[in-house]
């Protein structure tokens, strides 16, 4: 009893130093604890709450005090772990408790507690990395405990040495010259520890040192090589990493080959060894090895090429691989008959002595890796192949056959990965016909991902013969008939195929267009997607092949004109001899490299901006025309669509604003004209909506545009304010609105202060001049001032950014064509597969939502999982998700609408977006709420789905 009293006194003293409450409470709790289990409970409870940085030290002292008194190992363990946790507290510097922590190690008998204490020291050490003596001391402590008999303790010691060991040699010498401990040596000694966990920890510690910038000794290489034959997979896995690190450090050193006098470069040797691990017994090691192979670019080419070589034999006679046979057949100009049995009969005899069955070298590593049982290994091998092929064109050529083989893997992910790989290395290679054949066979794959990837691949593939082009075209057309939804992608693919191989397409033209030298052939159907596909190929080839148009027949030219207009992104402008040039006449003043469309866009904008002083009627008309022009331009020129739409929207806002201000309502006594004000307030509302679209639906919007958009929004809000002022009686509600508006003007000024000089004569510029007056005046006066400023202000020039794209989405599935309703029992859910492509959506995971509208007006908003989004190419995303529908029973099948929404949050800045965390939530209406914090923009066409919830049968 007495001793307890004393402790309380002691802690009371400390309370003056630290914050009271917690440490005191803990102390009392711990003293009261009757049993170890009780104490443990208290500690656990204590650990749940954070401790302030100032009181950490006091708490630590109390804990330590109990630590020494405690007999139960588990409680000591918990205290030790708490010490570590406490030292992590931000703002607390643990050097004051380090000595105490080290002292606790002295008399500790339990291995578990020891390990935990070392862990705590590690935490302390990592917080005090700036303090070399402290680190040295901790490392020394760790070294002392390395002889412990428990693997856990040795493990932690090695970890500690790895994390805190001196990296700079000079400093180490100075600080501890007498012991001159070489951490590498100490860790290296534990490579042969009896416990595999310690061996792993030793290798990991070594890797840690490397990561921290210590140059590892080359001598470790031999040790590491021995570890490759370890019995335990985690050791081997770590050893492979270590070997890789060393091979990157000393690629050019020479190492002897055991059992011979020869010597080879270290990187080659390491490469061979890692290749060997690709056929390891554990798949974890195999994945690791296969992955690392990819980054060993310094390896000599003959070693590299060996990885694809597996000498085949049959009954001791050399046999050619199927790849070699295919190549030979190709070069001899024959097609594979494949009919003879024994077509692959082995040829020459093999010298039995020369055959090496388990090679130490790299032989066949990739052949094994690509054939592996686990798809993880295969993917890793494909990735490695890709990386190596990118750096070595000759290797790329050689690995082609293997990659092509992978197109038939049983797992889609692997197929996809190999197609992507092939695309990445495609500038290094030219496909042979037989390879192309295999590649094209995959076009029939039922997975859209695969087909699209393949189209992308074909876009950048080099084909060597005209037969190859023909084959590709035929297969693509087959694909088109089988999967009509691939239309766009196939056309695009043919566009590139044509423009890459004009000379190969040339001899095919008469056949493709089925023209005949003497007879007129019937004119093909212009709406046939297959015919369009052929034309796209030909026109793109014709662009760089001026002789080609001579082969066209009359209707081809007409079709050209039509396609050039309707599919301008796929059909390039051609100079057709003896014909009226279809492309717009080029005026000499325009620089030839500038696109006429771009020119048009700028010209029309210029016109609008110059016209601000004309009478309102004229301005309105001009705006209307320009908007119409821009919209049409956007439809024609897909690459300018974003730009054109963006400006059109802006002009539309302007137009609305002008129209609203033209209203007669302003001249008449307010309450009498409730009808007219509907138009003005609707305009204000629409402008607000449009500004949100402008801000959040386009990718590539820069700060300058954002200012203009916000400015437009401010004007719309002013308009709203004026309209409300005119239509409501009494100043009460107005008061709040004015206040709010002024706040917004203020925040606008704060946000865009740097942009203000560019906004001479604008609404906000004038407003800011009048600000002192506004703040003091009554609401009615404010409204009056606003009204005049709004009318007088000039409208701002909208600068265009380099690249501007509108986010678009197309729902591929459901197609909305099915007449069979989706039946399910009411009250239960039914899953609807939704498949959509998204273009130019930034951060789709955070913003894209699916909306389901039921016939009764009920709306449901679903936030798809992040994993449902795939990224097949830059700027493109694909959403494949399941939407769960449910409803009460209906009597008839009815259509629901599914569409995609883009969620935005007007508070978030462009840089830091905070995605909404809720998975799904229901909302009634779409338009942004009055305070405009959050909202959604529909950006896909709605698709109708027939559903039929049936009442549950009892």
Residue list 167-206, contact with other proteins (CB under 8 A): 192-194
Per CB under 8 A, the list member of 17, 222, 254, 355 interacting with other proteins is: 355
Whether 75 and 34 have beta carbons less than 8 Å apart is answered as no
Minimum distance from CB of 344 to other proteins (Å)? 8
Query: 655-684: which residues touch other proteins (CB under 8 A)?
Result: none
Distance, in Å, from the CA atom of 200 to the CA atom of 205, rounded to the nearest integer, reads 8
Task: Yes or no: say if 46 and 8 are a contact pair by the CB < 8 Å rule.
Answer: no
Asked if 411 contacts 377 with a C-beta cutoff of 8 angstroms, the reply is no
Where is 659: in which H helix or E strand?
helix 641-662
What distance in Å separates the CA atoms of residue 666 and residue 739, rounded to the nearest whole number? 22
Q: How far is the CB of 195 from other proteins (least distance, A)?
A: 8
Crossing angle for the helix pair 448-459 and 412-424, to the nearest 10 degrees? 10
Question: Of these, 72, 140, 397, 405, which contacts other proteins (CB under 8 A)?
Answer: 405
Site for other proteins contains 371 (CB under 8 A): yes
- The least CB distance from residue 341 to other proteins, in Å, is 4
Which of these ranges, 367-375, 665-673, 751-759, 917-925, lies near other proteins under the rule CB under 8 A? 367-375
- For position 835 contacting other proteins by CB under 8 A, the verdict is no
What is the x/- site pattern for other proteins, positions 907-936, by CB under 8 A? ------------------------------
Residues 231-290 that bind other proteins (CB under 8 A): 231, 279, 281
Helix axes 233-249, 220-227, angle to 10 degrees: 150
Contacting residue, 147, 331, 591, 617, with other proteins by CB under 8 A: 147
Q: Which residues contact 373 (CB under 8 A, 6 or more apart)?
A: 283
Stretch (H or E) spanning 740? helix 732-751
Closer residue to other proteins in complex, CB, 316/751: 316
Residue 194 beta carbon to other proteins: minimum distance, rounded to whole angstroms: 3
Residue 371 CB, nearest approach to other proteins (Å): 6
Distance CA 634, CA 629 (A): 9
Residue 358 in the binding site for other proteins (CB under 8 A): yes
User: Which region, judged by CB under 8 A, interacts with other proteins, from 366-374, 645-653, 876-884, 944-952?
Assistant: 366-374
Question: How far apart are CB 242 and other proteins at their closest, in Å?
Answer: 19
Q: Which of residues 438-467 bind other proteins (CB under 8 A)?
A: 438, 441, 444-447
Nearest to 726 by CA among 677, 799, 659, 794: 677
- Cα Rg, the chain, nearest whole Å: 37
* Cis amide linkage into residue 686, ω under 30° from 0: no
Among 16, 48, 49, 340, binds other proteins (CB under 8 A): 340
Give the nearer residue to other proteins in terms of CB position, either 433 or 663: 433
Residue closer to other proteins, measured from CB, 252 or 410: 410
Question: Within its chain, how far is the Cα of 696 from the centroid?
Answer: 19
H or E element, residue 938: strand 934-938
The count of chain residues that interact with other proteins, using the rule CB under 8 A, is: 49
Tell me if 747 contacts other proteins by CB under 8 A.
no
Q: Which stretch binds other proteins (CB under 8 A): 408-416, 515-523, 594-602, 934-942?
A: 408-416
Phi, psi of 281 (to 5 degrees): -75, -25
In terms of C-beta density within 10 A (0-12 exposed, 13-18 middle, 19 or more buried), how is residue 170 classed? exposed
Q: Which helix (H) or strand (E) holds 883?
A: strand 876-885
Sequence-distant (≥ 6) Cβ neighbours of residue 764 within 8 angstroms: 711, 714, 745, 748, 749, 756
**339 sits near other proteins (criterion: CB under 8 A):** yes
Of 150 and 905, nearer to other proteins (C-beta) is: 150
321 lies in the binding site for other proteins (CB under 8 A): yes
Nearer to other proteins, 321 or 686 (CB): 321
CB nearer to other proteins: give 411 or 590.
411
Q: In sequence order, which residues have a C-beta less than 8 Å from that of residue 519 and are 6 or more positions away?
A: none
Q: Which of 44, 222, 257, 322 binds other proteins (CB under 8 A)?
A: 322
319 versus 500: smaller Cβ distance to other proteins: 319
**What contacts 665, CB < 8 A, 6 or more positions away?**
673, 676, 677, 680, 726
Binding flag, residue 225, other proteins (CB under 8 A): no
| Nearest by Cα to 473 from 503, 436, 445 | 436
Q: Which is nearer to other proteins, 195 or 702 (CB)?
A: 195
- Give the pairing of strands 317-319 and 263-265: unpaired
Q: Quick count: other Cβ atoms within 10 Å of Cβ 43?
A: 22
Residue 495 near other proteins by CB under 8 A: no
Residue with smaller CB distance to other proteins, 483 or 531: 483
Q: Considering beta carbons, is residue 280 or 765 the nearer one to other proteins?
A: 280
Would you give the end-to-end CA distance of the chain in angstroms? 72
Residues that bind other proteins (CB under 8 A): 147, 192-194, 231, 279, 281, 310-316, 319, 321-323, 338-342, 352, 355, 357-358, 364, 367, 370-375, 402, 405-406, 408-411, 438, 441, 444-447, 482
């Amino acid at each position: 009893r007495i001793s307890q009293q004393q402790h309380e006194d002691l802690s009371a003293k400390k309370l003056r130093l630290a914050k009271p409450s917690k440490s005191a409470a803990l102390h009392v709790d711990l003293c009261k604890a009757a049993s170890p289990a009780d104490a443990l409970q208290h500690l656990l409870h204590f650990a749940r709450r954070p401790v302030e940085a100032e009181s950490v030290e006091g708490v630590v002292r109390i804990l330590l005090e109990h630590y020494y008194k405690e007999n139960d190992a588990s409680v000591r363990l918990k205290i030790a772990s708490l010490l570590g946790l406490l030292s992590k507290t931000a703002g607390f510097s643990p050097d004051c408790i380090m000595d105490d922590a080290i002292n606790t190690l002295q008399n500790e008998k339990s291995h578990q507690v020891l390990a935990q204490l070392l862990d705590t020291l590690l935490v302390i050490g990592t917080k005090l990395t700036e303090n070399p003596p402290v680190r040295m001391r901790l490392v020394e402590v760790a070294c002392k405990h390395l002889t412990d008999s428990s693997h856990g303790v040795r493990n932690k010691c090695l970890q500690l040495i790895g994390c805190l060991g001196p990296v700079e040699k000079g400093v180490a010498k100075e600080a501890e010259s007498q012991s001159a401990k070489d951490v590498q040596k100490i860790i290296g000694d534990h490579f042969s520890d009896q416990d595999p966990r310690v061996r792993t920890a030793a290798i990991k510690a070594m890797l840690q040192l490397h990561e921290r910038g210590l140059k590892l000794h080359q001598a470790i290489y031999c040790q590491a090589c021995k570890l490759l034959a370890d019995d335990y997979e985690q050791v081997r896995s770590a050893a492979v990493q270590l070997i890789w690190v060393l091979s990157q450090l000393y690629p050019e050193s020479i190492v002897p080959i055991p059992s011979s006098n020869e010597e080879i470069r270290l990187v080659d040797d390491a490469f061979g060894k890692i290749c060997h691990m690709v056929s390891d017994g554990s798949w974890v090691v195999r994945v690791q090895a296969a992955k690392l192979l990819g980054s060993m670019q310094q390896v000599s080419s003959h070693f590299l090429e060996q990885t694809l070589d597996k000498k085949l034999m049959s009954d001791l006679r050399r046999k050619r691989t199927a790849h070699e046979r295919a190549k030979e057949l190709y070069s001899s100009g024959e097609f594979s008959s494949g009919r003879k049995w024994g077509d692959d009969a082995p040829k020459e005899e093999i010298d039995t002595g020369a055959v090496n069955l388990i090679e130490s070298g790299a032989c066949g590593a990739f052949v094994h890796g690509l054939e592996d049982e686990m798809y993880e290994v295969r993917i890793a091998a494909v990735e490695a192949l890709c990386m190596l092929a990118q750096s070595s064109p000759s290797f790329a050529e050689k690995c082609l056959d293997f990659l092509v083989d992978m197109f038939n893997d049983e797992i889609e992910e692997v197929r996809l990965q190999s197609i992507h790989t092939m695309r990445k290395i495609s500038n290094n290679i030219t496909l042979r016909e037989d390879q192309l054949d295999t590649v094209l066979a995959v076009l029939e794959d039922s997975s859209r991902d695969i087909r699209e990837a393949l189209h992308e691949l074909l876009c950048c593939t080099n084909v060597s013969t005209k037969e190859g082009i023909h084959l590709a075209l035929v297969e693509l057309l087959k694909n088109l008939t089988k999967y009509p939804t691939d239309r766009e992608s196939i056309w695009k693919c043919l566009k590139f195929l044509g423009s890459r191989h004009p000379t190969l397409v040339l001899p095919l033209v008469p056949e493709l267009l089925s023209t005949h030298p003497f007879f007129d052939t019937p004119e093909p159907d212009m709406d046939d997607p297959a015919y369009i596909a052929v034309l796209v190929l030909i026109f793109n080839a014709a662009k760089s092949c001026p002789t080609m148009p001579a082969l066209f027949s009359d209707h081809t030219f007409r079709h050209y004109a039509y396609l050039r207009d309707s599919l301008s992104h796929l059909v390039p402008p051609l100079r057709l001899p003896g014909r009226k040039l279809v492309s717009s006449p080029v005026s000499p003043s325009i620089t030839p490299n500038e696109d006429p469309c771009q020119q048009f866009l700028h010209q029309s904008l210029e016109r609008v901006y110059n016209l601000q002083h004309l009478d309102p009627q004229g301005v309105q008309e001009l705006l209307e025309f320009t908007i119409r022009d821009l919209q049409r331009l956007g439809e024609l020129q897909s690459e300018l669509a974003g730009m054109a739409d963006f400006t059109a929207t802006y002009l539309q806002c302007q137009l609305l604003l002008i129209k609203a201000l033209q209203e007669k309502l302003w001249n008449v006594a307010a309450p009498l004209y409730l009808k007219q004000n509907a138009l003005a307030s609707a305009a204000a509302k629409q402008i607000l909506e449009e500004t949100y679209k402008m801000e959040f639906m386009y990718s590539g919007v820069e700060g300058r545009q954002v200012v203009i958009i916000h400015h437009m929004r401010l004007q719309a809000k002013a308009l709203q304010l004026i309209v409300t002022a005119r239509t409501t009686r009494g100043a009460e509600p107005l008061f709040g609105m004015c206040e709010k508006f002024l706040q917004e003007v203020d925040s606008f000024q704060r946000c865009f202060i740097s942009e203000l000089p560019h906004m001479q004569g604008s609404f906000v510029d004038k407003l800011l001049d009048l600000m002192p007056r506004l703040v003091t005046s009554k609401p009615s006066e404010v409204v009056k001032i606003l009204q005049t400023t709004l009318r007088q202000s000039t409208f701002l020039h909208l600068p265009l950014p380099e690249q501007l794209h509108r986010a678009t989405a197309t729902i591929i599935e459901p197609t909305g064509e099915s007449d069979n309703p989706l039946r399910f029992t009411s009250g239960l859910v039914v899953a609807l597969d939704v498949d959509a492509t998204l273009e130019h959506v930034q951060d789709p995971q955070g913003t894209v939502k699916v909306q389901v509208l039921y016939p009764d007006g009920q709306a449901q908003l679903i936030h798809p999982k992040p994993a449902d989004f795939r990224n097949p190419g830059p700027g493109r995303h694909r959403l494949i998700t399941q939407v769960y529908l449910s409803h009460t029973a209906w009597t008839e099948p009815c259509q629901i609408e599914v569409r995609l929404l883009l969620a935005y949050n007007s508070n978030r800045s462009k840089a830091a977006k905070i995605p909404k965390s809720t998975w799904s939530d229901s909302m009634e209406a779409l338009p942004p709420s009055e305070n405009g914090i959050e909202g959604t923009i529909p950006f896909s066409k709605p698709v109708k789905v027939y559903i039929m919830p049936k009442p549950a049968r009892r």
